[in-house]
Amino acid sequence: MEMAQLMGQWWMTLAEAQMVISVRLCGLAGVWNVAPLENQRIMREKAATAQAAVLSAGRAAMTGASPAAVTHAALKPVDHFTTSNVRRPSRRGPGPNQR
């Protein structure tokens, strides 16, 4: 059961990440309205997400959690960022950038 929940979370995170990539690429091409600092945000959040994932997985591993629980702990911060990154640019909608 634990692995099934992990796989569901994994696939949802992958789908959201693909949506974020698509919207941001459309924003770079000028066909999707994105925030003026969205391109800088792309780079800044990578390090913060990776750090949070490593720390979360490390804490879970040090407490003796199962491999699935460690993976779940590592995915949780990534899932948080992808979910917020899907919502924020999606609200702005298609159209030219409004700076």
**pTM of the predicted model, to two decimals?**
0.71
CB of 81 closer than 8 Å to CB of 13: no
Q: Where are the domains of the chain?
A: 2-92
Read off the pLDDT of residues 37-62 as tens digits, 9 standing for 90 and up: 877 887 888 888 899 999 999 999 99
pLDDT band at 98 (very low <50, low <70, confident <90, very high): low
pLDDT band at 13 (very low <50, low <70, confident <90, very high): confident
Give residue 97's pLDDT.
Answer: 62
C-alpha distances (whole Å) from 50 to each of 2, 14, 18, 29 are 23, 15, 17, 27
- DSSP character at residue 36: T
Burial of 6 (0-12, 13-18, 19+ CB in 10 A): middle
28: tokens are 């770079």
For Cα atoms 32, 38, 41, give the angle at the middle one, nearest 5 degrees: 150
Whether the predicted pLDDT of 65 surpasses 90: yes
What 3-state class would DSSP assign to 94? strand
> How many whole angstroms separate alpha carbon 62 and alpha carbon 71?
13
Q: How far apart are CA 51 and CA 41, in angstroms?
A: 16
